């Protein structure tokens, strides 16, 4: 005959073992979720901003050359003197813009005059910008900039509305008066190739967000507006 106390002792041991197992499991589960939360916060607050900063810095380096080209155009004495002489010979400016485009391999080059409103390209006068034309809003935004230039994603009216990265640089005369905007454009495909390289390198999907909140994506052979 088995004594009842033996069963009680065994039951107690089983109960204690179950409680210990449940306790260890609960602690492990809590630790897992706490660690998961900590890792998520570290990624969001530290790793992602750091990666974004690194990617942004790398892309900025690739855009330094186009910015320098646009800056050189904005400070070119020929361009400023031509405007101050009254924009008398449009062919002279067209040759200048075409030479810039061909020499540096740009997709487009342009100058918009504040006085006449003419939009000049390497092929001649494209149009006259107007404040009431939505597609000309970029020019008046650039005119009112506090910075010397902007990098903007827009369609290129001189090239069948192709999606283009523009470096829009403000131009001033020798007395510091604003006389227009100039710069070059890069094809979205060229920027897509650059971004695709960084997506592969950093293993991230890269987006650009404009100040207005519009999402622009480049990479993997595609470019689009969201």
Is the pLDDT confidence value at 42 over 60? Answer: no
* pLDDT band, residue 222 (cuts 50/70/90): very low
Quick one: pLDDT band at residue 40, thresholds 50, 70, 90? low
- Residue 96's domain comprises 1-226
Give residue 221's pLDDT: 45
Can you give the CATH number for the domain in which 161 is found?
3.30.450.20
Q: Is 69 exposed, middle or buried (0-12, 13-18, 19+ CB in 10 A)?
A: buried
Please state the rounded mean pLDDT for residues 140-162.
Answer: 86
Average pLDDT over residues 113-134: 96
Which of 31-45, 91-105, 151-165 is least confident? 31-45
Give the residue-averaged pLDDT of 167-191: 91
- Per-residue confidence at 200, pLDDT binned at 50, 70, 90? confident
Rounded CA separation 119/157 (Å): 10
Average per-residue pLDDT for the chain: 80
Q: How many domains does the chain have?
A: 1
Residue among 63, 105, 100, 103 at smallest CA distance from 194: 63
């Amino acid at each position: 005959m088995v004594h009842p106390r033996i069963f009680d002792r065994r039951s107690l041991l089983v109960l204690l073992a179950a409680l210990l197992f449940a306790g260890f499991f609960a602690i492990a589960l809590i630790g897992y979720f706490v660690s998961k939360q900590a890792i998520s916060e570290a990624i969001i607050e530290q790793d992602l901003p750091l990666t974004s900063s690194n990617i942004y810095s790398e892309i900025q380096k690739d855009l330094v050359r186009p910015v320098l080209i646009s800056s050189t155009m904005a400070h070119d004495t020929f361009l400023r003197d031509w405007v101050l002489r009254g924009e008398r010979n449009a062919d002279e400016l067209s040759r200048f813009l075409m030479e810039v485009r061909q020499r540096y391999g740009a997709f487009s080059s342009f100058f918009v005059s504040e006085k006449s409103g003419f939009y000049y390209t390497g092929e001649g006068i494209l149009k006259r910008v107007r404040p009431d034309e939505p597609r000309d809003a970029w020019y008046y935004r650039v005119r009112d900039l506090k910075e010397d230039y902007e990098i903007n994603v827009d369609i290129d009216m001189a090239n069948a509305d192709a999606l283009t990265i523009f470096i829009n640089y403000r131009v001033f005369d020798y007395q510091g008066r604003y006389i227009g905007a100039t710069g070059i454009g890069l094809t979205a495909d060229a920027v897509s190739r650059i971004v695709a390289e960084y997506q592969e390198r950093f293993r991230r999907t890269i987006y650009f967000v404009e100040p207005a909140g519009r999402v622009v994506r480049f990479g993997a052979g595609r470019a689009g507006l969201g």
